[in-house]
Amino acid sequence: MELLRKNANEVKVIANHFIKWFFLSAISGGVVGLVISLFLKSLQYATVTRENNPWIIYLLPFGGALVSYLYLKYGGDSSKGNNLIIERINNGGGYVPFKMTPLVFLGTFITHLFGGSAGREGTGVQIGASISSKLGRLINLKGMDHTILIISGVSSGFGVVFGTPIAGTVFGLEVSSIGKMRYDAIIPCLISSFIGNQIATLLKVQHTHYHMNGITDNPSIFYKVIFCAVIFGLVSKLFSELTHYLKKYFSEKIPNPCVKSFIGGILIIALVLILNTRIYLGLSLDLLGNSFEVKIIGYAFLLKLIFTSITLATGFQGGEVTPLFVIGATLGNFLSSIVNLPISFLSGLGMISVFCGATKTPLASFIMGVELFGAENIKYIFMACIISYVFSGKSGIYSSQENSIFK
């Protein structure tokens, strides 16, 4: 009887815990899913508007200066972006300011409308975390409970942006600390990520899908994938290091953030005029799609890397992940002819692996690869993520991540 009573009490505690977090995470995920669905649709509008009005790129310096002014006047700690969220999670205290949501929403929209090279993930994560933090304050959550709700917001924000609820779940658990997982938040992250994606599906949010061909196994493929994964890791390291260096350089040389963004916009316009192409602006989804189908210029990955590093380093808002996808896919496209592997196969591996090396989230990256491409190449996706993760070393796009591996 004593054993039965102990087990019954344990089940009761687990059930109460589950019910509590199911409802909190469902509310958080639902609201985040709604706001991010609106955000994704706004980016589609911004992209179409920019492509239909080529002259609009000349407003990029003014748009960047406006956003930097808004952050300077109203943003406070919000200007730290994802690093602020990671700090809050790791410290186990404090709130993520709700004003981060409208600021990053508007800032990212302006970046994409006028032609900055940036992504969506950073915005999704910040919206998710700030909304969840606001909910936690409204219901007076304290300490670790509030932190867990913020983590669930990170999961829903990431999962909704890419339509990958499982990867979103794991990303929230993994992103704050290199080499550690926050399993105490696994149920909230799971619920919020799936609920958020269900809301996005109901609102008919469209996610682009890319096909990665399967290959016939032979011993040489193992070594070819290792070789390419090492390069993916080194390029992700290059992106992280260059972006951090340029942020420091521009901040030292141009202390006024409005002027810094204005000059950043001029640099992007200059690159467009010199190269006589606009394929590196915005998300570059056309370039990403072409990488899976036809041979493209071999240095496309390097140009996208430079465009994105300048955009983010000079204060424009947006994420890094979609540009990392483009950098990785175009790099894989280039390497396919060198190692004699199918274009779509290496573009898919590059897309996931460069993202993995830069974010330091190998499990979330692996799961995202399976969610996006299916399980046909599962062992090579896993290999590429792990090797890229190792060869990217200490460098990552989130400087506030705790590091328990790379010392």
Query: Is residue 184 predicted with pLDDT exceeding 60?
Result: yes
pLDDT class for 1, splitting at 50, 70, 90? low
Per-residue confidence (pLDDT) for residue 4, from 0 to 100: 63
**Whole-number pLDDT of residue 160:** 95
- Contact (CB, 8 A) for 352 and 384: yes
pLDDT tens-place string over residues 322-346: 999 999 999 999 999 999 999 999 9
- Going by C-alpha positions, the residue among 395, 337, 387, 345 that lies closest to residue 231 is 387
pLDDT at 353 over 90: yes
pLDDT at 247: 94
Closest CA to 18 of 194, 195, 186: 186
**What Rg do the C-alpha atoms of the chain give, in angstroms?**
21
How much is the pTM? 0.93
Lowest mean pLDDT, pick from 15-19, 23-27, 65-69, 288-292: 15-19
How confident is residue 278, by pLDDT bands cut at 50, 70 and 90? very high
Question: How many percent of the chain have pLDDT more than 70?
Answer: 97
Q: Positive or negative, the Cα torsion across 149, 153, 154, 155?
A: positive
Local confidence band at 264 (pLDDT 50, 70, 90 cut-offs): very high
Does the pLDDT at position 271 exceed 70?
A: yes
User: Which is more confidently placed, 396 or 274?
Assistant: 274
Higher pLDDT, 318 or 349: 349
Can you give the pLDDT at residue 9? 76
* pLDDT given for residue 116 in this prediction: 92
If one compares 176 and 39, the residue with the highest pLDDT of the two is 39
Q: Is domain 2-202 given the CATH code 3.90.1150.10 in the classification? A: no
Helices (DSSP H) in 292-402: which residue ranges? 300-313, 321-339, 343-359, 362-373, 378-391
Short-list 140, 135, 175, CA closest to 155: 175
* pLDDT reading at 163 higher than 80: yes
Q: Bridge partners of 403?
A: 178
Mean pLDDT of 287-316: 95
pLDDT in tens, 91-138: 877 788 899 999 999 999 999 999 999 988 888 999 999 999 999 999
More confident residue, 51 or 14: 51
pLDDT digits (tens, 9 = 90+) for 196-205: 999 999 999 9
Q: What pLDDT does 200 receive? A: 95
The second-level CATH assignment, the architecture, of 219-403 is: Orthogonal Bundle (1.10)
Q: How far apart are CA 379 and CA 359, in angstroms?
A: 21
Q: What is the pLDDT of residue 210?
A: 85
Residue limits of CATH 1.10.3080.10 in the chain: 2-202, 219-403
